Each structure stands twice: as C-alpha cells, then as structure tokens.
Amino acid sequence: MSGGLADVFTRTRGQDRAALIGYLPAGFPTHEQSVSLINAMVAAGVDIIEVGLPYSDPLMDGPDIQAAVDIALQAGTTPDTVLDVVGQVSAAGATPVVMSYWNPIERYGVDRFAARLADAGGVGVITPDLTPEEAGPWIAATSQSGLDRIFLVAPSSTDARIATVASATSGFLYAASTMGVTGARSQVSSSAPELVRRSRALTDLPIAVGLGVSTGEQAREVAGYADGVIVGSAFVRRILRAGDHEEACREVGALAADLAAGVRGR
C-alpha cells in the first residue's frame, strides 16, 4: 500500500500497532539488486522504506552500513541512482523516504533534489546531520515539493531542543535511542522510552525509534511506546552474510516478517 507518511501512520494506528521502517542503501550490492531487496522487505511487512544515499564519509554509521555504502559507491551509485531506486520501489507500492547526509543533497542542488525526489514518488527525507537552524533553504525546498522533512532528537536533547527540532519536522520525529553510531545491538537503549515520553509532551508528530533494533522481540518492546520502529543494520548484515542474491532476498524477507510480527504484538 503506497501513500504519504501521514497515510501510513493513520493506517498503522488504526490497526493498533507501530509502523515498521526499514533501511537499505541504494545500489547495495548493485542497483537492481537493491530494488529487489527493498521490494522483498516491503512484501514481508515493512511499511516505510528508508532508501540510503551512499556517502563517502558516513561518520554516524557503524561498520555494517559503512561496508554496504562502500560497496554501493564502488558499484557507481550516485544521487541519480538513488532517485531511480526510489522511483522503482514507489511504483511497486512502497512508501519511500531518503536517508542522506546533507553534503550530497547540497552538492546536487537543494531545490533540484527535492523536486526530483517528489517526481520519483519519494515522500520525505531524513537528514541526520542537518540542524533546523541551518535548514532554511531545505525547509523551503521540501515545502515547495510537498516532501516531509525528518530531523533527529537524541537522549542528550533538552526539552527546549526537542521542541525546536519538532517544530521544523514533518512526517515523523526520529528518536535516536542511543548516543553513538548505528548498529544492531543485543538490547535497545533504556533511554529510549524516556526520550519518547519527553518528546510526546512537546509534539503531536508520530515518533519513531531507531538505532539498535535487530529482532522481532526488540521491535515488540519498542512498539510498546513508539509509533514507529526503525531497523537498518540488521537488514544490511544479513545481506553481507548471504551467499548469493537469492539467499539475501530470503534473509531480508524473513527478518522483515519477524519484525512485522513484533510491531503487531505490542
């Protein structure tokens, strides 16, 4: 089922569950394989797909995503590749947002990127290293193109900071559950519920929690207090370990099904 972020969260709330949000870099391991992997994730229960824009200096990402991004870059992935992947998965029924560091968007052209993403069927962009204070041109471009812009809050964010970030955000507020880089963990940070609680007092936006979720049980735990559960490194790790593309598709489908059962079992 395709649609904007508001449509997805309306649907999942109507089903009394959290939304499942999955991440995969475009072009990993190849252009067309990333499309089929994303489609396998969506077919198995992922509600929103974060299409990663590979960048040569992914400082906030852990080793699995860094490895995947390097493979995508070596394969020649560019922002235009990302937009093509978005177009293909959107046409297949996915609800895609792009996850990107700010530098590639700025170099591509802020207005140009926003307009082309909207034309491709993208519904929003997550910019983890862009602050609202520096986002004036981006806010204008996304407003013009009808895209949601997703900013991040963290356990270290003060209430005043959460309010500032939320006021510039649309679609959903991304709550990073822990300080540090991305990566699957044995347990989700204990600071995540408190961050969501503090954020709920300051915004009516849906709140999605990311960084660390890798199992259906962890997804169920996070879905007990958040509107969305974000999973990235766990998908990437299964692909990196797969013997071939067919196995990779089976692996991401199995993980997505496990996570989807988790968000439905809160």
Catalytic amino acids? 50, 61
Long-range interactions of 129-138: CB distance < 8 A, separation 24+: 129/59, 129/60, 129/101, 129/102, 130/102, 132/164, 132/165, 132/167, 132/168, 135/168, 137/110, 137/111, 138/105, 138/110, 138/114
Find where tokens 């962009």 sit.
125
Residue 35: CB atoms within 10 A of its CB come to: 22
The model carries a pTM of 0.94
- Return the domain boundaries, the chain: 5-264
Instruction: Name the helix (H) or strand (E) containing 117.
Output: helix 110-120
Ranges of the chain with pLDDT below 50: 1-2, 179-186
| pLDDT value of residue 188 | 57
pLDDT tens, position by position, 198-227: 999 999 999 999 988 999 999 999 999 999
Architecture of the domain delimited by 5-264: Alpha-Beta Barrel (3.20)
